[in-house]
Amino acid sequence: MEINPRFLEDSDFVAELELCHLRLMKDGDLDWFMMIPKVEGAREWIDLSAQQQIQLTKEIDLVSRKLKSVNSGKINIGSLGNVVSDLHIHVLSREVGDRAWPGPIWGTKSLKQYSPDRLVFWKKEFNS
């Protein structure tokens, strides 16, 4: 399955899950994951079979729990698809006082430089 070039530009590879490619957004402020189901042509949740929907829910749970184990903030999960219509799920940890709090984070710019150290950390977390 080919990954949309915008996803490749905006994120780094973390791990292969059973259903999804797991990627870390290049955001210096937040731990922000993008999950891309490995289902050709999927644009909507309903394009997945019932079993794939169940597996996606399990993988969202896994990513959310790992994220919560190292972040104290509120876990946000979203699938907007307004910029890139390929099915993808965002899982991120928001903090009171972050750059957009309490408003939506979508479309805002990171205040800090993205650190590859976060990528190294998350690769260890998901591949150990």
pLDDT digit string (tens) for 55-109? 999 999 999 999 999 998 999 999 988 888 899 999 999 999 999 999 999 889 9
**Could you read off the pLDDT of 101-128 as tens digits, one per residue?**
999 998 899 999 999 999 999 999 999 8
Amino acid 37: pLDDT: 97
User: Does residue 85 sit within a domain?
Assistant: yes
**Domain assignment of residue 27, given as a range:** 5-95
Cβ count within 10 A of residue 34? 22
Amino acid 56: pLDDT: 98
Question: Where is 37: in which H helix or E strand?
Answer: strand 32-37
Q: 107: alpha, beta or left, given left = phi > 0 and alpha = psi -120 to 50?
A: left
Based on the structure, what is the number of domains in the chain? 1
**Could you read off the pLDDT of 17-64 as tens digits, one per residue?**
999 999 999 999 999 999 999 999 999 999 999 999 999 999 999 999
User: Does residue 69 sit within a domain?
Assistant: yes
Amino acid 128: pLDDT: 84
Which of 124, 110, 58, 121 is CA-nearest to residue 89?
58
CATH number of the domain bearing residue 82? 3.30.428.10
The token duo for 93 is: 């940890």
User: Does residue 19 sit within a domain?
Assistant: yes
Which of 84, 93, 38, 39 is CA-nearest to residue 63?
93
